[in-house]
Structure formats: structure tokens, C-alpha cells
Structure 1
Amino acid sequence: MEYSLNPHSQELLEQYRKNLPIYQKIEEVALQAIQHVIKELGISLSSMEHRIKTEKSLAGKLELKGGKYASINDITDLFGMRIITFYTDDVDKVAALVKRTFDVDWDESVDKRKAHELTSFGYNSLHYICRLPKSLANDPETPQLNEIRFEIQMRTALQHVWSTIEHDIGYKGSIKILPEYRRQFSRLAGMLELIDDEFSRLRTTMTDYRRQMQALVASGQLTEVPLNPSTFRNYLDMTPFKKLNQRIAASNQAEILPYPLMSFLPILEHFEMKTLGDVQHFIEENSDAAYQLALSQLAFTDIDIISESIGLQNLCIVETLKRGEGQEGIQLIFDTLNGRQTENKAMAKIMYEQAAILPFMQKSK
């Protein structure tokens, strides 16, 4: 394809064509390296984009400012990556990984976030100009692998969205923007920047809260730990129902199969339990009756495999009956665990009849 280029720019384009296989190798090595370290650190990304500049795109650039470059290697974005994070602090974490993984040309790199003036507008990203170190690519026959520079941009998802909107609207185009429109753009940019910062701050706060709750659970200070999905999950890690399950299993020498117990949380909340201390008290108060109920269930069977849920399920049934919620309350438990289905009513009837003859039921009459 022919382009309207002067002889110097045409020479640069020829250099690009000759180097294209090298750009492709750099892309392969760089992408694999950065994906590995990001996965190793456990950073969740919104996305990662990468591309080698097309010949047509390069020709357009050379038409405008080809005289700016002495050689094709002076153009640092022929291969580029854009790493998009969810949080602002993750941009700095990714930047640290990039510094550790590649050789960064600090003279050409720029943190456009710091160059942001109060009166300016727009979201900016962190741009590093990099080379592959010999630890990643070392081919004496192709020294250009370690000489050719490439660009890595790092920004948040909101910054990326704003950049796309800004480009689409044409804010930075040749048409002069009226002051009222500039103010509107600036207000929106400020709001997005605030949201970006607040999301990062909220994540830090929530992480600190989870760690605090985990420490309280581990230390046994359960009355100070509110009951919620996060704390209940940590509590289950302590296997609080293991002792009751083992006691039940011993009656038939049964094997206990794992079962996800998070589904019981809405039932505990129905009992108006507010803290893990309430759950612990619920276990201590109802364990003997739950064991008796299990014996009545297993007395005339040769079942040698039981679910890990049997202890907690029977604790809930006992609590329901103590509260006077009867067969309907037991059905509600099954509806919560299994979804509404006709079998739940029959199962609730059987459970109620098995429990009716037990000592704790006789005391409540």
C-alpha cells in the first residue's frame, strides 16, 4: 500500500516492516511476563489490552510528524499495553510489578496523574516506557529484543471510561469549547475522580473490618462479632458443629459428608440472632435436643452416611419448635434450604412427628 510520505518517513516505514517479527516477539514475551506476575500477586484487573501499531496507523503518524524521529526505534509505542484496574491503589501495585519485570526508561516515562493541574481537565494515566531485560529475552542474534522500547499504560476502569467518553465527545478536538461546557466537563471529571478515590478507600476500610472480625472470631470474642455473611463464613471455618455431628454419627458409625452451611444463615437471622455469640449460645442450648432428634431419625435405619448439615438442621428444628412455630416453622426451614417444593410439607410433617415424643417437647407442653 502506498502512502503520501517523504523519503525519510518512507524509510522509517520500511524499518517498521523489517522489525515487525521482533515487535511480535516482544509482545509475546512481555504479555506472558506481566500476566504471570499480576496473577502471582492476585490483583484483579478490569481488563488488559495490547496491540502492535498497524502500518496504516503508523503511516498516518509519520505523515504528521515523521521528521521528529531519527529512526523507527525513537517511536516508543509501536507495541503497547494498557492495564486497567478496578482501584486507584492497584494502579501503583501494577506499576511496581512493571518496574520489577521490565527495564523502565525513566526519562521517557511519565505519571500524568501528577502533571494534572487544578485548572486542567481530563483523566490521566501512568505511562511507562519499557524494554525487555535479558532475563526475559536473551538472543545474541536478535539484540533488538532488548533495545526496542514499548509503552505500558496503567489506569483505573473509571479513568478508562472517561478517556473513551472524552475521545468520543471530542473535547480535545480542534473546536474551541465554550466556558460553560468546560465547567460541565470539569465537574464531571471531579465527580469521577472522587468516586475512584472513595472506592479505594471503601475497599481498604472493608478489608480492615474483615481482619478485625477474623481476629475477634479467632480469639473467641464472639459476642462482639455481628452476624453477617463474612463473619459467619469465618465462624464456619472453626467447625462449630463438628462435635454435635460426630456425636450423631457415632450412633450409627456413620461417615460424615461435607455440606455448604452458608445456606443456613437466613434461618439464623429469622431467629433474630445478631452476633456469633448468639449462634454459640443457640448451639449450647439446643445440642442435646438436636442429638435426641437425630437418634429418633436414625433409630430404625442402617444409614452409614450422613450429611454435615444434620447437626445444624436439627438445631434449627429444635429452636423452631421451642419457639412454638410448629410444623409450619419446620417447613419454612426446608423452603429456605431447598426452595419451595411440595416435598417440604411432607418432610416437615415427618420431622414434627419424630420430635413430638422427645423430652424437650414434653417439657414445653
Structure 2
Amino acid sequence: MSDAVSFGVAPDPDSDESESEEFDFDKHAALAKDAYEQVYSLYDEFSSVIESIISTCLANSEISIHSITSRPKSIDGFQRKAGKASSENPNSPRYGKPLQEITDLAGVRVITYFLSVVQDVEAVIQEQFEVLERIDKSEAFEKDRRLGYQSLHFLVRLKSNRCALPEYARFSGLSAEIQVRTILQHTWAEIEHDIQYKAVYALPSQIRRRFMALAGVLEIADREFQAIAKQDRRLREAALKSVADDQLTGVEITPDALKAYLDKEFGPDGRMSDYSYSWTVGLLKDLGFIDLDELDEFLSEYNDGEVSRALHGARQGQLTRLEDVLMVAAGNEYKLRHPWHRPDNEWFDEMVDRRLEKAEGKGYEVGVKRLPDRGRNASAS
């Protein structure tokens, strides 16, 4: 028996030896641990390699995800798993050859925002690796009557052409587990882990119903987030097309739409950040603007470059020029509705007053346009 255990092999359950002696699970697990310690660093490297391949491919394909992490199975975790008894024969280990049969020694987890991206990640995995097994956990949980929420697990190996390269040769024959799930699926998995994978039938019926209802709610939420993302993308594309076609009526002012409009009317400016466009959208809404056609009408009589040079002596950036025109056209009303108009912000009021005075000195008639009768401090202005 000792020889069998030393090689990580369980005894034959039909042999006389297995009937006369109890299997030494502790010794079996300890020997498996010793063997795993010898290759732990290899699986650590292997995990990082799998993560790197997936990350690079996702980035090249412009597939956005929430996160990707990797890890080798901990030595203590491996020892505990190696010491588990078989469900069919409690005097026999579940894993007679732990190093060969425990397949998650290298693990990678990919968490996405949306369900559709799970499919995109799967396509990358199928293309880049030899997929030994694909498991849909939702189907497995239904079969085993356990609490659970869907996610995809893959058992993979590096393809032979990659293993032929010197930097990957040492990983030939090794397998890794890749988990792919949405961020809501991940939340469920963490909760599920905390309740220790209890079987459905082991829970009180009231608790079981609540868990099943929660799983349904999360699945609906995942689908709704996906639908929202799809609608948002469709609206963005429609808005950009409307701007390109000079059809501004009803086009809501959003960061994307504003950038497209200003790029067309004021000229592109690569120095502007996404945050700057978002902040400017907030300013425009404080000033009462909702649609691009309102803004376009308000700006139509001004040359942004000339106004900018009059106030600063040189042509400024795209968004500064927009604010300059708004300031000259609306005059004091611009100051009163601006989010920086506060009792503790005297410097802002003084700056606007100086610039308006300068604009008048350059021949501009300031404050000749009325801002829309909505937005911040609309009645006060």
C-alpha cells in the first residue's frame, strides 16, 4: 500500500488490501502536497502566461472587460483537495493521482461587464487554446441541485504551435482552468462560496426560494444591462450620424455628440479629454441647453476663433473657445448660471466681468442672447 500511496495512486477498492485497511488520507494528501511543491512555480508561471495571452488578444480586438486575474492553486488548497474521499467509496480518495486529476492548478478568471462580452471572450479562448472541456455552470448546478448562477469554465492547454516556441516549451501538456463570467455572476459566485456550496435540498424551503428568486433577478439584471448597453450604442451611433448630416434637431447633448459637433464646427482638438467633454455637457445643461440645435442656433452669429483672440490674444483650445462664445453671447446671465458662481468664488465673477469688459472694448455687444429658460438659476437670471 505504501508504494501505491507514494506514487499518488489509490489502492484498488476491490482488492483485499482495501478491505483490510483504512486508506491513509492524510498521508496521501501529504505526499501529493510534496509533489505539488516541486512544480508550484511552474504553474505560477503558466497562470501568468495564460493571462497574458488572453489580455493581449482582448486588447488587440478592443474587447473591454472589467478585470482579468490569474493564480496557481495554493499549496494548502491542493492538499485539502487531494485528501478528499470519493463520493462512491469513502475509503478511497477522490483523486488517486492528484497532480494529473486536479485540473485547476493554474487558474485564470475573466470578469466582463456584459453577457455579450462573455461570448467574445469565449471566441478568443477557442481560437488561442486547445479547449479540452467547456462547462456551463448553470447547467451543472441544475443537474446537481445546487445553488448557483451561470458562468463558463474552460479547461485548456497551449496549442502545439505555441509549445514549439522555446519560451513556451516547458508548459507543454499542462492544463489550466479559465473562468469567464459577468460582474453580476461573479458577485453571485462570491456569495455562493461564502455559503459553502450548500445543496438546494439542504436549505430550509423559505431560504431556498429566496436564493432561487435572487438568481433569477440577477439573470434579468444581466440581460437588462446588456439591453441598455445595446440601446446606448444605437443612440450614440444615430446621434453621430445626425451631426455628420447636419440634422441637429432633437439630438441630445452628450459628450460624444458634443465632440462630434465641435470637431465639425470649431475644428478637431486632440488635447481635449473625455472628462472635459463630460464636464462641458454638465455646464451646457446648467445653462439650459438640451439639444444640439439649440446650441447651434445660439452660437451661429459668432466666429469662435475671433472671439478667442479678442479675449486672450491668441486662439485657445476647442472647449475654451466654446465657453468664450457662450460668455460673450449671454453676458451676465452666463455668469449667474455657471456652476462656479458661488459666494465663495468671487474670483470667478471677477474673471467673467473682466472678460466681458474686454469683449466690449473689442467692439462686441455682450449679453444680446437669452439662454434657454431652464437650467441652473434660470429664474434668478
- TM-score strictly above 0.5: yes
Q: Give the CA deviation at 1:268.
A: 3.7
Query: In 2, distance between residues paired with 1:173 and 1:280?
Result: 62
Aligned length: 336
Of 127, 136, 145, which residue of structure 1 is paired with 2:171? 145
Query: In 1, distance between residues paired with 2:321 and 2:166?
Result: 67
Q: Would you say the 8 A contact 2:286–2:337 is kept in 1?
A: no
Of 51, 57, 60, which residue of structure 2 is paired with 1:37? 57
Write out per-residue CA displacement over residues 247-289 of structure 1, whole angstroms, 9 at most, x where no aligned residue: xxxxxxxxx99667735444543553332122222222x316x
Query: In 1, distance between residues paired with 2:225 and 2:207?
Result: 27
Partner of 1:287: 302
Partner of 1:250: none
Instruction: Find out whether 1:101 has 2:128 as its counterpart.
Output: yes
Q: Give the CA deviation at 1:102.
A: 1.0
Partner of 1:343: 347
Partner of 2:230: 204
Letter in 1 for 2:63: I
Query: In 2, distance between residues paired with 1:283 and 1:207?
Result: 28
Write out per-residue CA displacement over residues 108-155 of structure 1, whole angstroms, 9 at most, x where no aligned residue: x31223445498642132111101123333368996622122211111
Partner of 2:335: 331
Q: Would you say the 8 A contact 2:329–2:368 is kept in 1?
A: no
Percent identity between the two aligned chains = 25
TM-score, normalization by structure 2: 0.73
Q: Would you say the 8 A contact 1:210–1:230 is kept in 2?
A: yes
Q: Would you say the 8 A contact 2:108–2:177 is kept in 1?
A: yes
What are the residue-to-residue correspondences of 1:42-61 with 2, within 5 Å? 42-61=62-81
Q: 1:72 to 1:318 in 2, by over 3 A?
A: closer
Q: Give the CA deviation at 1:206.
A: 0.7
Q: Give the CA deviation at 1:53.
A: 1.9
Query: In 1, distance between residues paired with 2:70 and 2:127?
Result: 19
Partner of 2:107: 80
Of 298, 310, 325, which residue of structure 2 is paired with 1:315? 325
Q: 1:112 to 1:335 in 2, by over 3 A?
A: closer
Q: Which runs of 5+ in 2 are unaligned?
A: 1-5, 7-22, 86-92, 370-381
Partner of 2:118: 91
- What's the secondary structure of 2:148's corresponding residue? coil
Q: 1:53 to 1:354 in 2, by over 3 A?
A: closer
Partner of 2:135: 110
Query: In 2, distance between residues paired with 1:349 and 1:105?
Result: 71
- What's the secondary structure of 2:46's corresponding residue? helix
Q: Give the CA deviation at 1:84.
A: 1.6
Partner of 1:273: 289
Q: 1:361 to 1:14 in 2, by over 3 A?
A: closer
Q: 1:273 to 1:69 in 2, by over 3 A?
A: same
Query: In 1, distance between residues paired with 2:119 and 2:366?
Result: 62
RMSD between aligned residues: 4.0
Q: Which runs of 5+ in 1 are unaligned?
A: 244-255, 322-326
Query: In 2, distance between residues paired with 1:14 and 1:232?
Result: 62
Of 37, 46, 62, which residue of structure 2 is paired with 1:26? 46
Instruction: Find out whether 1:241 has 2:262 as its counterpart.
Output: no
Q: Would you say the 8 A contact 2:66–2:113 is kept in 1?
A: yes
TM-score, normalization by structure 1: 0.76
Q: 1:257 to 1:6 in 2, by over 3 A?
A: closer
Q: 1:31 to 1:314 in 2, by over 3 A?
A: closer
